[in-house]
Structure 1
Amino acid sequence: MKLIIVLVCIFAVAYGQIALTAEEEKLLKTDPKCKIPCASGETKNYSHPYDCTKYAECKNGIVSYKDCPSGYKFSP
């Protein structure tokens, strides 16, 4: 019984480290040429590379992805 519990725990830990979210999988498939240009000291919003219901916020050299308000799509 202990062996089964140990094996289940090992499998759960291994699977948890391998599993990617759908968002991570999409980012891995995104063309590297489509990276968001985000200069230090800049504050600007860019369209999300593949989802118009999201946008990329560039603030002081750091890009973070945000959701548009419900029912809205990003329009530059």
Structure 2
Amino acid sequence: MQPDSEPRPFLTIAQAARLLGVSASTLRNWDRTGKLKPRRHPMNRYRVYDRAELERLKSKIEGSHASR
């Protein structure tokens, strides 16, 4: 069985943290403060993050670092 070449639309907290270059604790903190809201997996209630939203945030973060 071959893995899908299409990226998954939702990422786990570990995958999201790796994509953004932050820790899972940072993502949990952003959740608490409302900066980034995860969805909850319907079966296990784990946090899952929308890849498109993460990509937008990553671009925003990288843009703010470039303007310094």
TM over 0.5, yes or no?
no
Determine which structure has the larger helix proportion and give its number.
Answer: 2
TM-score normalised by length of structure 1:
0.23
Which structure has the larger Rg? 1
Determine which structure has the larger strand proportion and give its number.
Answer: 1
Structure with larger RCO (C-alpha < 8 A, sep 6+): 2
